[in-house]
Chains A and B, each alone.
Chain A
Amino acid sequence: MSKIVKLKKGFDINLAGKAEKRIADSPQPETFAIKPPNFIGMARPKLLVAEGDNVKAGTPVLYNKMQEHVMYCAPVSGEVVEIKRGAKRKILEIKILADKEMEYEAFPAHNVSDLANLNRDQAQEIMLKGGVWPNILQRPYGIVANENDTPKAIFVSTFDTHPLAMDNAYALKGDDSNFQAGIDILKKFTNGKIHLNHDLNGEVSSVFGNVQNVQHNKFSGPHPVGNVGVQIHHLDPINKGEVAWTISPFGVAQIGKLFLTGKHDASKLVALAGSEVENPQHYKTYTGACINKMVDGNVKGDNVRYVSGNVLTGEKVESDGYLNYYDNMVTVIPEGDYEEAFGWILPTSKRLSFHRAFGLMSFMNGANKEYVLDTNQRGEKRAFVMTGAFEKVVPMDIYFDYLFKAILSEDFDNMEALGIYEVVEEDIALCEFIDVSKHDLQDILREGLNLIQTS
């Protein structure tokens, strides 16, 4: 029953500074942070700790008033040193000074054979309390899943095609049993299938290849083929009224670990990559790590931008900022705050472009050329010009120009009819990248999703 899907549309952004497959011998950062804004739709975060409290790894620190059974837990043990707030006292960061010796909250541990005896409610209880539930995202909307839903299917993409993305198989090496346990638990939540989607052209590692109880599918093509949203669109698209869940490979393994060891284990491999990194490599750390220990003394030049995540969907952070909850990489690229004489017309092959308009020669470089891209916007914001390019870069049967227009005019019926339920920001990030008129399309899409969700 497995499916093979070959896609042609898309665009690979091949950046310089890929992280080498080695794990840095570097001290752990001193502080870690949980950032409520990382959880889309968390309208009313409620704190469970105060500054000065001691927490263990897995101690709940936060929940959402609108979804109060889902606990957001401390990734490490230590002391809550700061609760950073922004305008209107919005909680931005909960910083934890990590202990030297990690202490874990104790959750019930299970043998592999016990897992089968758990029913959904029991499993759910453990996941909600154990802080692994936020790994499960719900489509539509890309928000933390509602524990009362029964999704029609669960989708896991084992490969990431974003620029400089990490190799998930490398990150989860040795986690075979955890991953399988995670899948077995998730299986209790759906009457449908769990789809495990692999790269058709890559080698399928044993972590993913030998997994039972799933449907193995294979995909090939340029980015965004690794996006789970694109994969869902080609396997079992989401219609109005339907709910599907997605989860990252890391999330599956974390769920598995919670059940097998009884620990909330937030340790993850993080890639440090980008053209401005001296030694691009991997770091073994925890969710929400401060990036300072990775980047200090490891960056070329001083006018750089640190990005939590990849360059298409990531977020700018300071050099002592924190990794976002769902991110497993830090990208460092040059800032582009300079004027370029006649930069709008001079021919160049260094500037990557999906287009081939006069002077944009990057298409002649071949697919293996690595680019150094900076943060310059390369032009000013302009009126929408419908060139049909969005449909050429995203392999989905959706008319994005029309979808964006429907959102901007707050036309609910058309947003729905044009397929807003099938996409989240990462699926249209390439549209934003190639947009001639330089609009913030990911923001526009989220506005539309918010409108639909709250209507």
Chain B
Amino acid sequence: MKFVQKQFDKIKPLFEKGGKFEKFHPIYEGNRTLFFAPKIVTGSKGVQVRDGIDLKRMMMTVIIAMVPCLLFGMWNVGHQYFLATGVEASLLDKVGIGAMKVVPIIAVSYIVGLTIEFAICVIRQHDVNEGFLVTGMLIPLVLPPTLPLWQVGLATAFAVIIGKEVFGGTGMNILNVALTARAFLYFAYPSQISGEIWTYLGDKVPVDGYSGATSLALAVEASNEGVQVVDKLAQTNTVIGGDFFSLSNMFFGFIPGSIGETSTLAALIGGAILIATGVGSWKIIVSVFGGAFLTGMLMNATAVNTYMELPPEYHMVIGGLAFGAVFMATDPVSAAPTERGTWIYGFMIGVLTIVIRVFNPAYPEGIMLAILFMNVFAPLIDYYVVQGNKKRRLARATV
């Protein structure tokens, strides 16, 4: 490491005040601090020692929590590919195909996003914030594997600039940045982000009778046809093995969908990591699931169509509910930070997800819009929570 340190020291004068590249100092600093925790010491007054945490470590914790989803997602892209084309394949083949599709998407997301971040740091002359480390991984995981790379790049650029930087950068954004990217694609390219896009087929033709539809789309279809959603799911893709959409398959994630969000299990492992490390709020995660489950039950009781009759446990495992609850809803910047606020915020995300799923056939997946909607409402929730605190204080005052 001494060698690396020396190299950095060697080029340091170029980036210092008066140096040739002084404008690019944030980039130099951003790279150096990636290798070395900086030697900044505490000020002369105030705390003389600091907690071991910094934003980099916090963000890395989230990335580590995403690894199960990422690995499973890669494997599943390959798994779905071979299932659809009716070919037996080894674990390695599946991961190979998956990596071939997923790695470029991740690369594009990071390259585009970091380029913009660095450019803005240079323009504004501030340090590189680590927020995009997480966003850059979240964006690929909520996209379908077949998405053209230019769309990935465009969505990332939109999300970073319009979703975050115009508000002032990391910590200031109102909406979850990764979901902004997803929503951008959803509304900018509606025809290309729905339909049979969830399974990568390459130039192969799927086996006869194979449907690449997601469980959410099938549920809407079933509801329109008036058949039970569970039956519809059971009848789909019998050609490649019965019970394709069984509760357990959907829980484990052996189904088509966005790259990282098919597996409820992988998301829950990530959730366990976030909760154990205290980086994600368990209150939000629990209340999202709770809100969704209760709404599912309420719909059962008042059902007028078959989607409403879907047992609530199915709602837990279809679509991206688990992934959204664990990784998107817990984003501390766009969530409601007050304790009471987190409960309301999470619960409403759960409720809205199911309401949007069931009552709005135009948007099969509810979690994305539910979280974005509650992102907008989070400041309002906190406003009332904080207002309550102020009132308590005011009540005991005499002047």
- Contacting residues, chain B, for A378 (C-beta < 8 A): 37, 50-54
Complex CA distance for A311 and B47, rounded to whole angstroms:
6
Q: Per-residue 0/1 for B96-133: is the Cβ within 8 Å of any A Cβ (1 yes, 0 no)?
A: 00000000000000000000000000000001011000
Please tell me if the beta carbons of A425 and B57 are within 8 angstroms of each other in the complex.
no
Say yes or no for B399: interface residue by CB 8 A criterion: yes
Complex CA distance for A284 and B58, rounded to whole angstroms:
45
Shortest distance in angstroms between A227's beta carbon and chain B's nearest beta carbon?
14
Please tell me if the beta carbons of A354 and B58 are within 8 angstroms of each other in the complex.
no
Shortest distance in angstroms between A290's beta carbon and chain B's nearest beta carbon?
18
Complex CA distance for A360 and B393, rounded to whole angstroms:
37
Q: Per-residue 0/1 for B72-113: is the Cβ within 8 Å of any A Cβ (1 yes, 0 no)?
A: 000000000000000000000000000000000000000000
Say yes or no for B362: interface residue by CB 8 A criterion: no
**Chain B residues within 8 Å of chain A by Cβ, number:** 62
Complex CA distance for A379 and B390, rounded to whole angstroms:
34
Shortest distance in angstroms between A262's beta carbon and chain B's nearest beta carbon?
36
Q: Which of B190-198, B213-221, B271-279, B366-374 contacts A (4 or more CB under 8 A)?
A: B271-279
Complex CA distance for A443 and B168, rounded to whole angstroms:
23
Say yes or no for A376: interface residue by CB 8 A criterion: yes
Q: Which of B181-189, B234-242, B336-344 contacts A (4 or more CB under 8 A)?
A: B336-344
Residue of A whose beta carbon sits closest to that of B283: A388
Please tell me if the beta carbons of A343 and B49 are within 8 angstroms of each other in the complex.
no
Complex CA distance for A237 and B24, rounded to whole angstroms:
50
Once A333-B48, A356-B277 are accepted as A-B contacts, the answer to whether A345 and B60 lie under 8 Å apart by CB is: yes
Residue of A whose beta carbon sits closest to that of B127: A380
Say yes or no for A302: interface residue by CB 8 A criterion: no
Shortest distance in angstroms between B163's beta carbon and chain A's nearest beta carbon?
15
Please tell me if the beta carbons of A335 and B392 are within 8 angstroms of each other in the complex.
no
Shortest distance in angstroms between A229's beta carbon and chain B's nearest beta carbon?
15
- Contacting residues, chain B, for A241 (C-beta < 8 A): 397-399
Please tell me if the beta carbons of B51 and A355 are within 8 angstroms of each other in the complex.
yes
Please tell me if the beta carbons of A305 and B48 are within 8 angstroms of each other in the complex.
yes
Q: Which of A13, A340, A442 contacts B37 (CB 8 A)?
A: A340
Say yes or no for A433: interface residue by CB 8 A criterion: yes
Q: Which of B38-46, B258-266, B306-314, B319-327 contacts A (4 or more CB under 8 A)?
A: B38-46
Q: Which of B39, B46, B129, B394 contacts A338 (CB 8 A)?
A: B39
Q: Per-residue 0/1 for B51-70: is the Cβ within 8 Å of any A Cβ (1 yes, 0 no)?
A: 11111111011001000000
Q: Per-residue 0/1 for A370-389: is the Cβ within 8 Å of any B Cβ (1 yes, 0 no)?
A: 00011111111111111110
Residue of A whose beta carbon sits closest to that of B2: A341
Say yes or no for B172: interface residue by CB 8 A criterion: yes
Q: Per-residue 0/1 for A235-264: is the Cβ within 8 Å of any B Cβ (1 yes, 0 no)?
A: 001011110000000000000000000000
Once A339-B38, A376-B41, A378-B50 are accepted as A-B contacts, the answer to whether A357 and B398 lie under 8 Å apart by CB is: no
Say yes or no for A65: interface residue by CB 8 A criterion: no
Complex CA distance for A417 and B5, rounded to whole angstroms:
49
Q: Which of B42, B45, B49 has the most CB of A within 10 A?
A: B49
Complex CA distance for A248 and B129, rounded to whole angstroms:
43
Say yes or no for B333: interface residue by CB 8 A criterion: yes
Interface size class of A (residues with CB under 8 A): 35 or more
Please tell me if the beta carbons of A433 and B50 are within 8 angstroms of each other in the complex.
yes
**Segment 383-423 of A: residues with Cβ below 8 Å from B:** 383-388, 391, 397-399, 401-402, 417-419
Residue of A whose beta carbon sits closest to that of B391: A417
Say yes or no for B170: interface residue by CB 8 A criterion: yes
Please tell me if the beta carbons of A337 and B45 are within 8 angstroms of each other in the complex.
no
- Contacting residues, chain A, for B45 (C-beta < 8 A): 315-316, 442-443
Please tell me if the beta carbons of B49 and A375 are within 8 angstroms of each other in the complex.
yes
Q: Per-residue 0/1 for B282-305: is the Cβ within 8 Å of any A Cβ (1 yes, 0 no)?
A: 000000000000000000000000
- Contacting residues, chain B, for A373 (C-beta < 8 A): 49
Complex CA distance for A387 and B130, rounded to whole angstroms:
15
Complex CA distance for A442 and B332, rounded to whole angstroms:
23
Please tell me if the beta carbons of A387 and B54 are within 8 angstroms of each other in the complex.
no
Complex CA distance for A362 and B277, rounded to whole angstroms:
12
Please tell me if the beta carbons of B338 and A383 are within 8 angstroms of each other in the complex.
no
- Contacting residues, chain B, for A375 (C-beta < 8 A): 41-42, 48-49
- Contacting residues, chain A, for B39 (C-beta < 8 A): 336-339, 376
Say yes or no for B171: interface residue by CB 8 A criterion: yes
Say yes or no for A314: interface residue by CB 8 A criterion: yes
Shortest distance in angstroms between A86's beta carbon and chain B's nearest beta carbon?
13
Please tell me if the beta carbons of A359 and B57 are within 8 angstroms of each other in the complex.
yes
Please tell me if the beta carbons of A391 and B51 are within 8 angstroms of each other in the complex.
no
- Contacting residues, chain A, for B46 (C-beta < 8 A): 313, 425, 429, 432, 440-443
Say yes or no for A307: interface residue by CB 8 A criterion: yes
Shortest distance in angstroms between A206's beta carbon and chain B's nearest beta carbon?
34
Complex CA distance for A379 and B29, rounded to whole angstroms:
12
Say yes or no for B207: interface residue by CB 8 A criterion: no
Say yes or no for A331: interface residue by CB 8 A criterion: yes
Say yes or no for B31: interface residue by CB 8 A criterion: no
Please tell me if the beta carbons of A353 and B51 are within 8 angstroms of each other in the complex.
yes
Shortest distance in angstroms between B187's beta carbon and chain A's nearest beta carbon?
28
Complex CA distance for A358 and B55, rounded to whole angstroms:
12
- Contacting residues, chain A, for B359 (C-beta < 8 A): none
- Contacting residues, chain A, for B392 (C-beta < 8 A): 397
Please tell me if the beta carbons of B35 and A342 are within 8 angstroms of each other in the complex.
yes
Please tell me if the beta carbons of A398 and B389 are within 8 angstroms of each other in the complex.
yes
Complex CA distance for A340 and B64, rounded to whole angstroms:
21
- Contacting residues, chain B, for A360 (C-beta < 8 A): 52-53, 57
Once A241-B398, A345-B56, A397-B389 are accepted as A-B contacts, the answer to whether A388 and B50 lie under 8 Å apart by CB is: no
Additional 12 contacts, C-beta under 8 A, given A388-B281, A433-B49:
A311-B47, A311-B49, A316-B45, A343-B36, A344-B37, A356-B278, A358-B64, A385-B170, A388-B337, A429-B47, A437-B55, A438-B50
Would you mind naming 16 contact pairs between A and B with Cβ atoms under 8 Å apart?
A239-B399, A240-B397, A311-B49, A312-B49, A313-B46, A352-B51, A355-B51, A374-B49, A379-B56, A380-B127, A384-B171, A385-B58, A402-B386, A418-B393, A434-B53, A440-B46
Please name the 4 residue pairs, one residue from A and one from B, whose CB atoms are nearest each other, closest first: A379-B54, A343-B37, A383-B171, A351-B52
